[in-house]
Amino acid sequence: MDAPFTAAVFLGMSVDGFIARTDGDLTWLTGGPAEAGPPDDGAGGDFGFGEFVAGVDALVMGRATYEFIAPFAEWPYQGRPVHVLSTTLEPGADARITVHRSLGEVVAALTAAGCRRVYVDGGRTVHAFLAAGLVGELTLSRVPVLIGTGLTPFGALPADVPLEHQGTRTFPGGMVQSTYRVRRG
């Protein structure tokens, strides 16, 4: 699938590569209930998340990710259009989002809006964008915990996705964050 934008991924995950427990639980990642909002690095920082979001035109996430983020005390995407891929969420359910039923529908909407860089979040959504060849960069933040089993966005793909390492940062508490560019051709 061709698109005039680059999809960028920014994920927190366990060292063993999971983004959530099999029941969707993320307390190992956030350190508490969803109402608390996204984690910080213990020094009031956000691991580069604010800077990352400031560099995108729009966001796309799946329903489960939306339902996790919706109750945050502060909506983390102020000023950015948020698109949610869902076959069950009702359009108009939340004025902060636009609901789309398919990948093709959301890609068409982002293209029509003139988006150049789009943040893609949520396991199934990231996987769909990877499988369609739409992801151009991945920032993966490994939280120093092993959870043994869980959900991953990196299931079977139609072909290998070759990556070029762009950089790695470490944070207090042991998080290691690496950024990769998807190599084309």
Query: Is-contact 57 120, C-beta < 8 A?
Result: no
Task: Specify the CATH number for the domain of residue 47.
Answer: 3.40.430.10
- Specify the long-range contacts of residues 155-163, CB closer than 8 Å, at least 24 apart: 155/127, 157/127, 157/130, 157/131, 158/131, 161/130, 161/135, 163/138
d(CA 136, CA 117): 9
Instruction: Please check the confidence at residue 55 and state whether its pLDDT lies above 80.
Output: yes
How many domains does the structure of the chain reveal? Answer: 1
- Report the SS3 class of residue 26: coil
Find the domain containing 59 and state its range.
Answer: 6-115+124-170+177-182
Residues in the chain: 185
pLDDT-above-90 percentage for the chain: 69
Give mean pLDDT, residues 150-163.
92
Structure confidence by residue, pLDDT tens digits, 85-105: 999 999 888 999 999 999 999
- Report the SS3 class of residue 30: helix
16 lies in a domain? yes
Task: Categorise residue 111: left if φ over 0, alpha if ψ from -120 to 50, beta otherwise.
Answer: alpha
101 lies in a domain? yes
Predicted confidence band of residue 34 (pLDDT cuts 50, 70, 90): very low
User: How far out from the chain centre does Cα 31 lie?
Assistant: 18
Supply the pTM of this predicted model. Answer: 0.88
End-to-end CA distance of the chain: 15
d(CA 102, CA 100): 6
1 lies in a domain? no
104 lies in a domain? yes
